[in-house]
Structure 1
Amino acid sequence: MPTAEDSLARSSMGRGFDVLSALAALMVSAPGGASVQEVAHALGRERSQVSRTLAALADQRLVVRGEDHRYRLAWGWYAAAQDLTDHRMRTIGLDVLDDLAASVGEACFLGVLQGDSTLTIVESIPAESRMIGSWVGRAYPAFCSDAGQAVLWDATDDEVRTVFARTAFTSPGPNAPASADDFLGRLREARRRGYAIVDQEAEPDLYSVSAPVWDFRGETVAGVQIVGQRASLQPRTAELAGACTAAAEVLSAALGAPADRQTAYASH
């Protein structure tokens, strides 16, 4: 059972991540850095609280305080932010998936790109789901996986072709893409739609909807998926897509995604 010290460590980590994300966003338009007041205003927090967090980050050499009393990101911040992102994807990601699974009554997963495969890092499978076993830690070919289009959402055509340069496009699914260009056509359609549909691409009768998750850099880092039997999910596509994109938006916000990314779902 988590202790009070564990809870304090997690809350401190969260505050540090939020301050780093806000400082990074402010430095896009102000490369010279930001004041404590500017960071506090961006976060809607008390100046004294933000000042203490920035001082702690400076002690850890994640930020630098200049003679002008403005804070700038230090070289070590990127690795620390990555660690915090990974931590939040697994902890907050589980809460998000649990809520999503409870609301739709279907198996929900969070996948990341690993080579030319997707890897499940978090899952939530309700009792009423027909899904058997766990997918956490298991990889599946990205060209036909439920998360494949979501995790490659912002990739250029050349980047997608590079990912699949050595991929053998063979799958038990009758509707699987036959090539990188075939995958790209489906990805473009998903982007226009605002979410991905994978219809019997991985396996016969398997259906899913998925949506991308963005991090503090505005980069795609994962895909939220709702997966199940085609007969059950396909008639509910619009409902499930709305729930899936909303869950992905919540997780993106928790990872410090820029405002334009957080509102991207609303444009569809």
Structure 2
Amino acid sequence: MTDTPSAARGHGLRRDIDLLEALASDEAQRAGGLGVVRLAQLVGREKTQISRALKALAAEGIVERDPDTLEYRLGWRLFSLVARTSESRLVRVAEPVMHALSADLEETSHLCVLHDREVLTLLSVSGHSFRVHGWEGRGVPAWRLSAGRVLLADATPDELYVRFGTTGEMPVPELWSLIQEARRRGYARVSEEFEADLVGVSAPVRDFRGRVVAALNISAPKARLGDRLDEAGRTTARAAARVSTLLGWEPRPAPLPRKTPL
């Protein structure tokens, strides 16, 4: 008896899920991706079948292919869908704060998270009573954005080398210096580093453990925001601290230095 069309679609979906499970495995995460041959071994299917399935999934943004290694990893669209679900509390807590921030600065605010080497925008809110979606789900190299610099605040130099040391696009010592500067200031700022005439500020959002889990960002044309970039940074930092508090973070004062006996 042959499969009905609905049964065939079900089989195809299960095969695609098998591929996604393989790309989410510890092996794939350690390697940064898997090739067609290895994926065929893991799921027990022919290489030609795997290749066709991956091309279809890549066309929809569910997986993505590294242009250098030709290996596949989970794609930005899948991550965006999952993030909107798993980070639903973050989004619910942040959205009203972002509306107030955008109204205060009269600029669009963005809620961003880190995904591998990229910054992914989960939510964008204008200064009016509606949401804007132009950046949602888009990934941008972390080192190019102020949001990336605060999202990497918890990273060690070794972790930065693992993420960016082979790209050659941003020297890791320079990136480390920019991250530390943002930590000292309480927010990061960029001026025309990502795009001509575009400036922005970002501040870290922390969870109850104190770990940076997101960034609040304000980006705008230089002619409109450039002269008040530090003011916008401080305002954004206060908004990010508010979101952090709602997530359960309680900042602790730094310990006083010990007095040296005379």
Does the 8 Å contact 2:150/2:183 carry over to 1?
Answer: no
Range with bigger deviation, 111-120 or 183-192: 183-192
User: 2:106 aligns to what?
Assistant: 105
Q: CA deviation at 1:182?
A: 1.6
136 and 123 in structure 1: CA distance in 2 versus 1, 3 angstrom threshold: same
Q: Residue 189 of structure 1: which of 159, 181, 187 is its match? A: 181
- State the SS of the aligned residue for 1:244: helix
User: 1:228 aligns to what?
Assistant: 220
What amino acid is aligned across from residue 250 of structure 1 in structure 2? R
Q: CA deviation at 1:93?
A: 1.1
Query: What CA distance in whole angstroms lies between the structure 1 residues aligned with 2:85 and 2:124?
Result: 19
Query: What CA distance in whole angstroms lies between the structure 1 residues aligned with 2:85 and 2:139?
Result: 23
Q: CA deviation at 1:122?
A: 1.2
User: 2:122 aligns to what?
Assistant: 121
Does the 8 Å contact 1:196/1:209 carry over to 2?
Answer: yes
- State the SS of the aligned residue for 1:217: coil
Range with bigger deviation, 203-212 or 237-246: 237-246
Higher relative contact order (CA closer than 8 Å, sequence separation 6+): 1
**Cα offsets for 1:78-122 (capped at 9, x unmatched):** xxxx99982221111111111100110011101000000010011
Query: What CA distance in whole angstroms lies between the structure 2 residues aligned with 1:182 and 1:138?
Result: 25
The alignment of Structure 1 onto Structure 2 pairs a total of residues equal to 170
Does the 8 Å contact 2:151/2:212 carry over to 1?
Answer: yes
Runs of 4+ that moved beyond 6 A: 82-85
Does the 8 Å contact 1:198/1:207 carry over to 2?
Answer: yes
168 and 138 in structure 1: CA distance in 2 versus 1, 3 angstrom threshold: farther
Pairs within 5 Å for 1:156-235 = 156-169=156-169, 178-235=170-227
Does the 8 Å contact 1:146/1:227 carry over to 2?
Answer: no
Superposition RMSD on alpha carbons, in Å?
2.5
Q: CA deviation at 1:246?
A: 0.7
- State the SS of the aligned residue for 1:154: coil
Query: What CA distance in whole angstroms lies between the structure 1 residues aligned with 2:150 and 2:237?
Result: 11
- Structure 2, gaps ≥5 residues long: 1-82, 255-262
**Considering only CA atoms, is the larger Rg found in Structure 1 or Structure 2?**
2
User: 1:33 aligns to what?
Assistant: none
Query: What CA distance in whole angstroms lies between the structure 2 residues aligned with 1:197 and 1:108?
Result: 14
**Cα offsets for 1:163-196 (capped at 9, x unmatched):** 2134352xxxxxxxx3222211211222222210
Query: What CA distance in whole angstroms lies between the structure 1 residues aligned with 2:242 and 2:136?
Result: 21
Query: What CA distance in whole angstroms lies between the structure 2 residues aligned with 1:100 and 1:244?
Result: 7
Query: What CA distance in whole angstroms lies between the structure 2 residues aligned with 1:102 and 1:231?
Result: 19
Pairs within 5 Å for 1:248-259 = 248-259=240-251
Query: What CA distance in whole angstroms lies between the structure 1 residues aligned with 2:250 and 2:156?
Result: 20
Q: Residue 234 of structure 2: which of 210, 232, 242 is its match? A: 242
Query: What CA distance in whole angstroms lies between the structure 2 residues aligned with 1:89 and 1:163?
Result: 25
- TM-score normalized by the length of structure 2: 0.60
Q: CA deviation at 1:259?
A: 2.8
What amino acid is aligned across from residue 221 of structure 2 in structure 1? Q
Residues 1:142 and 2:142 aligned together? yes
Query: What CA distance in whole angstroms lies between the structure 2 residues aligned with 1:238 and 1:210?
Result: 11
**Cα offsets for 1:187-230 (capped at 9, x unmatched):** 12222222101111111111011111100121110111110011
- TM-score normalized by the length of structure 1: 0.58
Q: Percent sequence identity over matched residues?
A: 36
Residues 1:155 and 2:155 aligned together? yes
Query: What CA distance in whole angstroms lies between the structure 2 residues aligned with 1:222 and 1:98?
Result: 17
Does the 8 Å contact 1:85/1:215 carry over to 2?
Answer: no
Does the 8 Å contact 2:153/2:212 carry over to 1?
Answer: yes
- State the SS of the aligned residue for 1:126: coil
